[in-house]
Structure 1
């Protein structure tokens, strides 16, 4: 795998000049820029996002921990399927300059601590934990530097959470049923 030093050698410039071309953060003459770009193309060089993340603390990665992939939808309480929530998260992340990494628990909550640690090791900028139904959860202890948001759940530690508004949904569903001419009377 090629490095910035290989590109610099072929382009006959310093590694700092290659860095300036890649990051577009300082003036570089057009002829030099073209030489560096030609060397990049010749080598098939791809910048290391790991190295860039170490310098900037910005990996561009968002981690999602869910059981939606392996979840058995016929077991237990149900609500808004967690897979729909993950798809919504993907749509929002795709519109940004971030990349979504998804880790599935395999329906084993004991894996959550390992998955959080793995995401921390890969320097994700934040983690979204998606529960399979609206419930209280207890996540394992994790670094306070890691931003975590809960989706479809909440915890006792006041972790930021996005939860369904069941009351609003039921109110509007009933309102729609009544406006369609149906009654609320129960049949024994």
Structure 2
């Protein structure tokens, strides 16, 4: 049996390159305080020996693991997945490693959440990011015994407000905690105004599941805008975000309208794009033309929404920027970057703007005689 060779060390690289081990360390850590010739010699020695830096050794020397823990719910949906990808990309550019743990967003327990956080403690993670789309995950994120800096990605409104959640933390922990999100409230207010400007006064609103903070925020903003306008809005409460449920509920609405001879709405606003797809299918099967007879609006601007028939008017949250801002907050809390700048900051949370994408599914309200 061939004898196993010893793994090359930083001292071996230094000896071969004719430099000190401190110089090798500076080259590995991309310090600018190394001449191009010395950097070239050290890199040649690294390549010749096949040297690979030891992450554990670097962690001991710097007291940093260079690992960021991420607990995420909502991973079945486009928005959270996009934000997670942006977080990972930013982390990689800063030489940080992501350790991602996914959990069920609704059936989340405090015990399960704490157990995942304990894993990050054992790994000596430098910070944690908590993507919490539901009330259960949001509250668990603030009750978890986390000692590292934490960044919570969530919506501005829910069963527990952000100021209430912050009061669960000690002053010291609060100083190492930050919340970021999308300005969904502002986007829904803007969307309401555009629907109103098109002359719509009789609207159906398809609301998302109650336990989701996104759904809560969007419905709250919509209802508040309607309360101060001439628009009449009736809420259709859905238990899921799925197109299938929205399709079934829209079918039921249309059948009831036909049975009692009521006036149909001129517009259907949906809390997400999947619901809008289900509504569009039901309208099509009942021979209702969109947008000539009924306009339809969604939220999220998922891929392909601009290629529906007709292209869907929807709200486009900047999920990439949300992930980037969350990672900037982490770097700031770790003392490795400037404080993230938010154009909107309210209700205790820094918010990334969202904008209405106006397309052909929203048109002037059809006259109802």
- Normalised to the residue count of structure 2, the TM-score between the two structures is 0.40
Residue aligning to 2:113: 112
Equivalent position to 1:61, from 43, 62, 67: 67
Residue aligning to 2:168: 157
Distance change (3 Å), C-alpha of 1:57 and 1:87:
farther
Distance change (3 Å), C-alpha of 1:134 and 1:175:
farther
More displaced 10-residue stretch of structure 1: 41-50 or 149-158 = 149-158
The superposition leaves residues 9-52 of structure 1 with CA deviations (integer Å, 9 ceiling, x where unpaired) of: 4435443342243343655682x544322220012222223322
CA distance in 1, matches of 2:190, 2:122: 44
Query: 2:25 aligned with 1:19, yes or no?
Result: yes
CA distance in 1, matches of 2:116, 2:79: 21
CA distance in 1, matches of 2:132, 2:80: 9
CA RMSD of aligned residues (A): 3.3
Q: Quote how far apart the aligned CAs of 1:134 are.
A: 5.0
- Normalised to the residue count of structure 1, the TM-score between the two structures is 0.69
Residue aligning to 1:77: none
* 1:79-94 equivalences in 2 (<5 Å): 81=77, 84-92=79-87, 94=89
Q: Quote how far apart the aligned CAs of 1:88 are.
A: 2.0
CA distance in 2, matches of 1:104, 1:89: 11
Equivalent position to 1:141, from 142, 145, 150: 145
Distance change (3 Å), C-alpha of 1:68 and 1:14:
same
Q: Quote how far apart the aligned CAs of 1:127 are.
A: 0.9
Task: Figure out how many residues of one structure are paired with residues of the other and give that number.
Answer: 174
More displaced 10-residue stretch of structure 1: 146-155 or 98-107 = 98-107
Could you list the runs of 5+ residues in structure 1 that have no partner in the other structure?
A: 72-80
SS at match of 1:62: strand
Moved over 6 A (4+): none
CA distance in 2, matches of 1:148, 1:12: 43
Equivalent pair of 1:8/1:36 in contact (CA under 8 Å): yes
